[in-house]
């Protein structure tokens, strides 16, 4: 759980390889993915286990968006189409391929958490709180997302369960953040930025924009999330105002796009229903082609010779030096 603080200036080179001095600065890293991977390594080769484990955690997005749609009283067909759009989401596949696992997987957990909260059942609220804990244990920044979700449900959705949810979120988060403050200096955090913007295909964006316009007043809660995400991305990419996790907001767009594309099926008239299905099916096909392109062009992040070089460096570093290869 104690992890070298990658964003601090504690790096140096040995034989051209980047080494992190753990003694210089450490950070309490949310442990869920580390524990899940370590457990899976007991049953399979680390390379195979990591692919299977991370892919499974990413696939939770399909259940998350389906439950989200059902929580807004979508029928089965629109909910299933939304789930299919997320299942072949090229931005999510790209984030998995680039290694941005923590944010995207935590996003799955927080969408599941919010969806279950909306069913206004105390039993499901407890389950919602568990999924929030998993989100926090995956990425420490998701306290803000849970706080926003709870406040939106309380103020706009008039959901009485939101009060209990917010209280539980604060109680769970407080000791976690105190541990972070105890083990590191958050004010010294130096964010890194991923400047590429990976968006769904233009046809899906058109569907989502149409759905947002049509269902804006019907689902004000989702409109709040969509407008906030758009404003954050506008500030980050257009105004060039760089802030922590501004680049990660883009991974919310597959969920928003799928939800609003599904809303078109939910609320379109009989005259245009078949046309909307055809367009949504075309968007799914385009995303599938994009995913195939990403997977077909994927290469190993490090060559075999490079990996062997890292192993040799490990042998040169004494076990008690508390250094790790980045």
pLDDT at 7 > cutoff 70: no
Residue 79 contacts residue 70 (beta carbons within 8 Å): yes
Over the stretch 17-73, which tens digit does the pLDDT of each residue have?
A: 766 665 555 566 788 998 999 899 898 877 788 889 999 999 999 999 999 999 999
CA–CA separation, 243 and 144 (whole Å): 15
Angstrom CA distances, 97 to 51, 135, 299, stand at 10, 20, 9
The backbone torsions φ and ψ at residue 247, rounded to the nearest 5 degrees and listed phi first, read -75, -20
pLDDT at 179 > cutoff 60: yes
Find the largest Cα–Cα distance for the chain.
72
Cα-Cα end-to-end distance for the chain: 16
pLDDT at 214 > cutoff 70: yes
pLDDT at residue number 286: 94
SS3 call for 18:
strand
pLDDT at 304 > cutoff 90: no
pLDDT at residue number 295: 85
Tell me the range of 31-40, 100-109, 115-124 where mean pLDDT is highest. Answer: 115-124
Residue 200 contacts residue 82 (beta carbons within 8 Å): no
Q: What is the DSSP string of 70-95?
A: HHTT--HHHHHHHHHHHHT-HHHHHH
pLDDT at residue number 34: 87
For the whole model, what pTM was predicted?
0.87
């Amino acid at each position: 759980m104690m992890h070298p603080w990658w964003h601090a200036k504690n790096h140096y080179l040995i034989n051209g390889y980047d080494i992190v001095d753990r003694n210089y600065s450490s950070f309490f890293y949310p442990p869920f993915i580390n524990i899940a991977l370590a457990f899976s390594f007991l049953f399979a080769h680390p390379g195979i286990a990591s692919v299977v484990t991370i892919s499974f955690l990413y696939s939770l997005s399909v259940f998350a968006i389906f439950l989200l749609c059902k929580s807004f009283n979508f029928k089965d067909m629109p909910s299933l189409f939304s789930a299919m759009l997320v299942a072949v989401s090229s931005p999510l596949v790209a984030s998995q391929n680039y290694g941005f696992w923590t944010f995207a997987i935590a996003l799955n957990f927080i969408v599941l958490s919010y969806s279950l909260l909306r069913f206004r059942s105390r039993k499901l609220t407890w389950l919602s709180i568990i999924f929030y804990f998993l989100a926090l244990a995956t990425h420490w920044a998701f306290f803000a997302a849970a706080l926003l979700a709870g406040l939106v449900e309380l103020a706009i959705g008039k959901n009485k369960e939101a009060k209990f949810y917010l209280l539980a979120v604060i109680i769970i988060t407080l000791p976690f953040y105190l541990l972070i403050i105890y083990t590191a200096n958050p004010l010294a955090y130096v964010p890194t930025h991923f400047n590429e913007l990976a968006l769904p295909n233009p046809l899906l964006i058109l569907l989502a924009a149409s759905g947002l316009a049509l269902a804006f007043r019907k689902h004000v809660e989702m409109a709040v999330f969509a407008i906030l995400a758009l404003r954050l991305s506008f500030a980050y990419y257009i105004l060039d105002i760089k802030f922590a996790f501004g680049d990660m907001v883009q991974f919310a767009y597959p969920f928003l796009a799928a939800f609003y594309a599904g809303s078109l099926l939910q609320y379109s008239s009989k005259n245009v229903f078949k046309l909307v299905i055809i367009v949504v099916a075309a968007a799914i096909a385009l995303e599938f082609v994009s995913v195939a392109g990403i997977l077909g062009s994927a290469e190993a992040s490090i060559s075999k010779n490079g990996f062997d070089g890292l192993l040799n460096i490990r042998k040169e570093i004494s076990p008690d030096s508390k250094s790790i290869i980045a």
